[in-house]
């Protein structure tokens, strides 16, 4: 089966064919670094990290770029509130971003370009758009002539007339058409600025990604990603700028992840219901947060709540416990079982099923379901009195390989929960009733390795943490 990707531009799944065989050029819009990131910012970081990992797993050489917006109105406001300057605010929260997403298992991009480090390219980009008749200067500002670009609205599937009816000119703007958008903003008194042919100022939001994508990946790229909220106007405007200048499609495939709701309400700062990752990872295993995100297809909305996170933790622990049991048995098994080839074939089928699900537009939800099926069969196999080391090794390799693709670790950072201990004790009791004493002893040893001491009494099994 070929890898297929849902393309927002065409609104259908398409077979993935990169511009250059075996290589993928991928750009994902990063955060504006004026504060800690919230759970909504974390979703695209996790989603596109997983996409990148899977493409690499499939053998592609991936060049992954994700930017930082390190100067804009929000940063200027934050700097004033904190009594410092814009670069200091940006540096602080870039550092915090890396700490937070690293905890979530997100790998660093090949490059994390910043607006402030790309100013020559941005100014050159704007100047060439003016030369080609796609932009104009107005009292120190520069605006893109939206109507000059044929096909504006093709990503968001909106007509120019529908967009015109909802557009307006803000106070202080001197653009010719309400649909035109800023490429360069004249500096206000006291603001950070750069020199340009149009006077001192700074870039508009949309131009930065066009310039950075061009600098690091070229005129056309394979995949451009971001949150659903970026489809319009940000990505629509990127297409207009880039394709007007480069006269080539900006990206072959446009990918967008769905929104996050908090307790069934759309997350928004106006409602005060946003949750900072910086705070969440102090309360939850960051891997559980990542698992929670991937348990839903990336294009679907996610409802976030404490109860759902606790459920995700229990689900991830099912896979981890199966893996721990396999590792424990591996050390005491020999290659004596006669059905080893049958079980090894089953393990291989799980790998094929996982790949098939991920090939279908990176369906992590179904891929995780395959891991659950593998954990179930692994537990069934572990009930056998005679197990083969080759089968155990095959299961272990499967879990390590596939969870690695998803960016998950199989070692829990937190100690076993009481209910997980009770579940293992109940499994041990059942094994003893069935006179499967080898399995019962194995569970006792496993708990001992985790510093859980069992005491068999006439009233039942008691346990304590060592």
Residue 191 assigned as binding residue = no
CA distance 219 to 388: 54
Q: Residue 166's beta-bridge partner residues? A: none
Order of strands across the sheet that contains 251-257? 61-66, 23-28, 221-227, 251-257
Complete DSSP assignment for 234-273: IIHHHHHHHHHHHSS-SEEEEEEEPPEEETTEE--TTTT-
Coil, strand or helix: which one is 216?
A: helix
CA atoms within 13 A on the CB side of 31: 24
Closest listed residue to residue 241, CA positions, set 202, 200, 213: 213
Residue 209 assigned as binding residue = yes
CA distances to 338, 389, 393 from 335, rounded to whole Å, are 9, 5, 11
- CA torsion through residues 414, 333, 315, 374, sign: positive
Residue 102 assigned as binding residue = no
263 Rama sector, left if φ>0, alpha if ψ -120 to 50, beta otherwise: left
Residue 29 assigned as binding residue = yes
Q: Are 343 and 386 in contact (CB under 8 A)?
A: no
CA distance 463 to 422: 9
Residue 269 assigned as binding residue = yes
Annotated binding-site residues for Zn(2+) read 29, 209, 234, 238
Binding-site residue positions: 29, 209, 234, 238, 269
Binding-site residue positions for ATP: 269
């Amino acid at each position: 089966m070929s890898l297929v990707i849902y393309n927002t531009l065409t609104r259908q799944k398409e077979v993935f064919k990169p511009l250059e065989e075996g290589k993928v050029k991928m750009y994902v819009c990063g955060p504006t670094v004026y504060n800690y990131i919230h759970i909504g910012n974390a979703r695209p970081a996790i989603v596109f990290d997983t996409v990148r990992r899977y493409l690499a797993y499939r053998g592609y050489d991936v060049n992954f770029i994700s930017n930082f917006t390190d100067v804009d109105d929000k940063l200027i406001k934050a700097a004033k509130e904190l009594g410092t300057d814009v670069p200091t605010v940006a540096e602080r929260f870039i550092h915090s971003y890396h700490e937070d997403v690293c905890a979530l298992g997100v790998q660093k991009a090949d490059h994390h370009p910043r607006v402030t480090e790309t100013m020559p390219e941005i100014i050159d980009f704007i100047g060439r758009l003016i030369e080609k008749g796609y932009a104009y200067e107005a009292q120190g500002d520069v605006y893109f002539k939206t109507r000059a670009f044929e096909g504006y609205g093709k990503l968001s599937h909106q007509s120019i007339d529908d967009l015109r009816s909802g557009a307006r000119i803000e106070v202080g703007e001197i653009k010719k058409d309400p649909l035109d958008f800023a490429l360069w903003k004249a500096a206000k008194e006291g603001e950070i600025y750069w020199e340009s042919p149009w006077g001192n100022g700074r870039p508009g939001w949309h131009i930065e990604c066009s310039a950075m994508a061009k600098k690091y990946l070229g005129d056309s790229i394979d995949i451009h990603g971001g949150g659903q909220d970026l489809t319009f106007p940000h990505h629509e405007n990127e297409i207009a700028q880039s394709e007007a200048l480069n006269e080539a499609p900006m990206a072959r495939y446009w990918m967008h992840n769905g929104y996050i709701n908090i307790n069934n309400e759309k997350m928004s700062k106006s409602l005060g219901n946003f949750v900072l990752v910086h705070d969440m990872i102090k309360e939850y295993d960051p891997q559980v947060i990542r698992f929670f995100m991937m348990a839903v297809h990336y294009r679907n909305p996610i409802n976030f709540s404490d109860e759902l996170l606790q459920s995700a933790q229990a689900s991830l622990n099912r896979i981890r416990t199966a893996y721990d049991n396999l590792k424990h048995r591996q050390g005491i098994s020999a290659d004596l079982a006669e059905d080893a080839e049958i079980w090894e074939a089953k393990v291989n089928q799980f790998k094929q099923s996982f790949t098939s699900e991920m090939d279908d537009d990176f369906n992590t939800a179904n891929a995780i379901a395959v891991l659950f099926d593998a954990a179930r069969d692994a537990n069934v196999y572990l009930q056998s009195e005679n197990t083969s080391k080759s089968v155990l090794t095959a299961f272990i390799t499967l879990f390590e390989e596939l969870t690695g693709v998803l960016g998950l670790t199989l070692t829990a950072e937190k100690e076993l929960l009481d209910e997980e201990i009770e579940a293992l004790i109940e499994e041990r009791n059942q094994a003893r009733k069935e006179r499967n004493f080898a399995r019962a002893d194995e569970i006792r040893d496993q708990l001992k390795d985790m510093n859980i001491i069992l005491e068999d009494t006439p009233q039942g099994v008691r346990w304590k943490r060592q």
